[in-house]
Amino acid sequence: MHIGQDYLINLYMEAVESFLRDALTQAGDRGSSRLHEMLAFHMGWHSKSVKETRGKRIRPLLTLLTCSTAGGDWKRALPAAAAVEMVHNFSLIHDDIQDHSPLRRGRPTVWKKWGIAQAINAGDAMFTLAHIQTLRLEKTVSPIAAIWATEVLQNACLHLTQGQYMDLEFEKRDDVTIEDYWAMIEGKTAALISASVELGAITASCDNHTRKAYREFGRLFGLAYQVQDDILGIWGDTEMTGKSSQSDLLSKKKTLPILFCLSKKGEFAYRWNGGRFSIEQLPGLLELLEREGGKEWALARSVELVDEAIKALDAISPVNEAGQVLRNLTLNLAHRRV
Amino acid sequence: MHIGQDYLINLYMEAVESFLRDALTQAGDRGSSRLHEMLAFHMGWHSKSVKETRGKRIRPLLTLLTCSTAGGDWKRALPAAAAVEMVHNFSLIHDDIQDHSPLRRGRPTVWKKWGIAQAINAGDAMFTLAHIQTLRLEKTVSPIAAIWATEVLQNACLHLTQGQYMDLEFEKRDDVTIEDYWAMIEGKTAALISASVELGAITASCDNHTRKAYREFGRLFGLAYQVQDDILGIWGDTEMTGKSSQSDLLSKKKTLPILFCLSKKGEFAYRWNGGRFSIEQLPGLLELLEREGGKEWALARSVELVDEAIKALDAISPVNEAGQVLRNLTLNLAHRRV
């Protein structure tokens, strides 16, 4: 991307970060400063934090870019952008408890630092604050935009919990199909990313038809994003992702490349179904996974989804620099490294 | 209460139950029927359930009674009534995980039956569904009522998580004061009960002054309710409350009668600070708690709060049968047995 586009991204990112910081201070009201501390720590704002440990903030960026390319004033969309990032982070705080993850972005997770009980509650506080933000659109955009945005966000949250229910259930099942996988990531990933884009369209006061088109673009973006995440979870560069490479393989997470090879019922499936494996067995499994086409097939799905997303976006004819950034972000999904 | 009042309560209760059942089915959409099953089980709707295991539904009752006595159509307030009951139940599902409680109302808790990970998620789904309900007031009352109601509910939820943060922290602290206690129950109990009443006023399109008066009445009702709950937690009738009597004492919960006696720094405080106690020591502790005035003092606070609540209510001059029921419910708080 050229310099103007980088400038735009930085401008939006800084505005989001500053809005988020302000909005989250409310958690510390009424003598609950330590509750605020938990949320701030999770967001990567503790004293020693560096920008890289804060997460990508891709969802709020999508909201602001969409608002801008759809002809709206991105500054008015800031409450919506903050809301989607907060929902994402609420789900991360609860996810980390559910997955027993001790680390996120190189730092201890909230439950590891403050215990499970306080971490559940911290997630609940973050969730509440998210919804308080969309209501603020009443002042920055209009009362009806506030209602629509809150409605879209709530429905995405319900879909998110349905996807999470499936994901948790997958861990216990031996018969997860590729079809089950698509249904799961529709909820777990695509619902909130789709809502992030739709909220941008709502804050730009788009008509129903355009709003629906953006929603579909966001959905395809979200699906591509998750497939890419699955690929990075196995073949990603540790330094870039911040996660240990092949960790998804060790934890036996049923991601897309795995499910593809399991469906082939070959040597990989045989070894996978044999129980837990040690670190020493990983190279052999990785080789099988590639040889039996898991990586290639998942990459092809990712490219396909990116193509569909680009088609959906081009059909809306996005304008200006923000539209260009949105297009480039989508294209980059097919070869994102972090 | 005479027969007309019982009739009204039953009418409202059945309408709420039916609305809740309908609204919660949404959790089972998109192939998540087992997620719905978890919520339905928690609500007491499994096949073998009897009405008594369902909880008192006091919060939605307050919403409908307030709406009616404030001149509104209680049927239009049903989404708001369902919302407050759902928020209450979301907090119970998460509470039970945080407190490691294996039983609620004589049945296994959600985490005990489906594991901690799924229970966290089930609570999140219930929370989301709650907020979806207040938005439905857009159709039954007006768009602005929907925004106000959602705003009031969200703020109560934030206050709830702040109260919960304090309550969890109290477990680890040896220096909790009576003042800390009041701040904690303002969030943990009074915020949602106050919002339940205020939502009734909003759905009746009350002016700001009246709405504020109802909010304050609800706050006092909530405080009295919690103090009474503390008393029942130690001296309550097991058969009526469904909890084992003195369980709060055994778990060393810092409730109001306890905090009063701890502040006296007498024999009770000495024994309490000596560490855990066995079942055999309970009768002696109970006697000390009464002798040192813990029960009497807490009862006096409860009566005081009920008086204040009645004054606040009478100042609004509630009319009709609903107003009478509201008044009687408040008076009954001072000697409620369940």
The ipTM value here is 0.94
Token digits for A216?
């579909």
Cα dihedral across residues A287, A289, A293, A294: positive or negative: negative
3-state secondary structure of B319: coil
Per-position b or e across B295-305, b if 16+ CB within 10 A of its CB: bebbbebbbeb
Whether the CB of A22 is below 8 Å from some CB of chain B: the reply is no
Cα dihedral across residues B113, B117, B122, B123: positive or negative: positive
CB contact under 8 A, A31 and B147: no
Q: Give tens-digit pLDDT for B291-321.
A: 999 999 999 999 999 999 999 999 998 889 9
Name the residue ranges covered by the structural domains of chain B: 3-333
Nearest to B129 by CA among B86, B158, B95, B96: B86
The C-alpha atoms of residue A59 and residue A61 are separated, in whole angstroms, by 5
Helices (H), B171-293: 178-185, 191-203, 208-235, 238-241, 247-250, 256-264, 267-272, 282-291
CB contact under 8 A, B144 and A144: no
Element (H, E) at A240: helix A238-241
Per-position b or e across A34-66, b if 16+ CB within 10 A of its CB: ebbbbbbbbbbbeeebeeebbbebbbbbbbbbb
CB contact under 8 A, B121 and A154: no
The minimum CA-CA distance between A113 and chain B, rounded to whole Å, is 14
Non-local CB neighbours of B110 within 8 Å, separated by 6+ positions: B38, B41, B42, B93, B96, B118, B119, B122, B123
Polymer length in residues for chain B: 338
Residue ranges of chain A with per-residue pLDDT less than 50 = 338
Identity of residue A333: L
Non-local CB neighbours of A133 within 8 Å, separated by 6+ positions: A23, A79, A80, A82, A83, A86
3-state secondary structure of A107: strand
Contacts of A26 in chain B (CB under 8 A): 158
Whether the CB of A296 is below 8 Å from some CB of chain B: the reply is no
Cα-based torsion angle of the residue sequence A240, A335, A278, A113 in order, rounded to the nearest 10 degrees: 40
Whether the CB of B117 is below 8 Å from some CB of chain A: the reply is yes
Identity of residue A309: A
Residue ranges of chain B with per-residue pLDDT less than 70 = 1-3, 47-53, 238-246, 336-338
CB contact under 8 A, A183 and B30: yes
Question: Rounded to two decimals, what is the model's pTM?
Answer: 0.94
CB contact under 8 A, A161 and B132: no
Contacts of B30 in chain A (CB under 8 A): 159, 162, 183, 186-187
Judge contact between B203 and B72, C-beta under 8 A. Answer: yes
Query: Looking at residue B241, what is its pLDDT?
Result: 52
Contacts of B131 in chain A (CB under 8 A): 131, 150, 154
Looking at chain B from residue 30 to 69, which residues have their Cβ under 8 Å from any Cβ of chain A? 30-32, 34-35
Contacts of A147 in chain B (CB under 8 A): 135, 138, 143, 146-147
Looking at chain B from residue 147 to 176, which residues have their Cβ under 8 Å from any Cβ of chain A? 147, 150-151, 154-155, 157-159, 161-162, 164-166, 168-169
CB contact under 8 A, A158 and B34: no
CATH of A3-333, one of 1.10.3720.10, 3.40.50.620, 1.10.600.10, 2.60.120.10: 1.10.600.10
The minimum CA-CA distance between B117 and chain A, rounded to whole Å, is 5
Contacts of A122 in chain B (CB under 8 A): 161, 165
Number of Cβ pairs < 8 A linking chain A and chain B:
149
Q: What is the largest CA-CA distance in chain B?
A: 60
Contacts of A165 in chain B (CB under 8 A): 32, 34-35, 118, 121-122, 125
A131 to chain B: closest CA residue: B154
**Residue with structure tokens 């969802």?**
A59
CB contact under 8 A, B147 and A147: yes
Token digits for A214?
């953006």
DSSP A51: G
Query: Looking at residue B246, what is its pLDDT?
Result: 65
Per-position b or e across B121-158, b if 16+ CB within 10 A of its CB: bbbbbbbbbbbbbbbbbbebbbbebbbbbbbbbbbbbb
Q: Which of A125, A166, A168 sits opposite B161 (nearest CB)?
A: A125
